[in-house]
Amino acid sequence: MTARTTKPRCAYTLVEAVIAISLLAIAIAGATMLARTILIQREASNQTARMLNAQEQSARLFQLGLSSTTITNILPETCVSGSPANSKEISLSFSIATANVTVSIGAGSVNATLEQATNTAIFTTTTDTSGSTAMRTNHILMVRPSIR
């Protein structure tokens, strides 16, 4: 009887191929979820930066002497009263109070009237991958000499 010689196998078994494909699929799914999360966070960050920039610009316009109605009309962002309905709207409100101030200069003093305003911005941002939104609020305190 002759001895049968077996050749060494040069291929992978079916089980090894299935395990390799499943590990590759898990890695691709994880990378996809990570990329989606990063994009959502970047979009939320951009929305926040845009809204805070609009609020800062409204504060500068107020200090230049414009009224709150004029400011909300000339800003490029959509300004609404009340709660914003979507992420492209911002709710800007101004609460203005006047105060009489006496400033001492050397031997004399000067009376001045100042307007103090609190600029409140309310806007929505996307918070997570499910698409839920959160309301964010930011306040800026501004002071200008009264011109009225």
The reported pLDDT for the residue numbered 26 is 97
Does 148 score more than 60 pLDDT? no
Q: Contact 120/137 with Cβ under 8 angstroms?
A: yes
Residue that has been written with the tokens 């040069």 in this structure: 10
Residues 6 or more apart from 129 whose CB is under 8 A from it? 33, 36, 37, 40
Q: What is the pTM of this model?
A: 0.69
Average pLDDT over residues 60-83: 85
Neighbouring C-beta atoms of residue 143, cutoff 10 Å: 12
Average pLDDT over residues 70-77: 86
The reported pLDDT for the residue numbered 16 is 92
Task: Specify the 3-state DSSP secondary structure of 32.
Answer: helix
Does 2 score more than 70 pLDDT? no
> Of the ranges 32-36, 54-58, 69-73, 108-112, which is most confident?
32-36
Averaged confidence pLDDT in the chain = 84
Q: What beta strand segments (E) does the chain contain? A: 78-80, 89-105, 108-126, 133-145
Share of the chain above pLDDT 90, in %: 18
Query: pLDDT tier at 33 (50, 70, 90 boundaries)?
Result: very high
Partners of 7 in the β-ladder: none
Does 126 score more than 90 pLDDT? no
DSSP codes of every residue in 54-95? HHHHHHHHHHTT--HHHHHHHSSSEEESSS-SSTTEEEEEEE
Average pLDDT over residues 2-16: 78
The reported pLDDT for the residue numbered 131 is 67
pLDDT tens profile 75-105 = 888 888 777 877 778 888 888 888 888 888 8
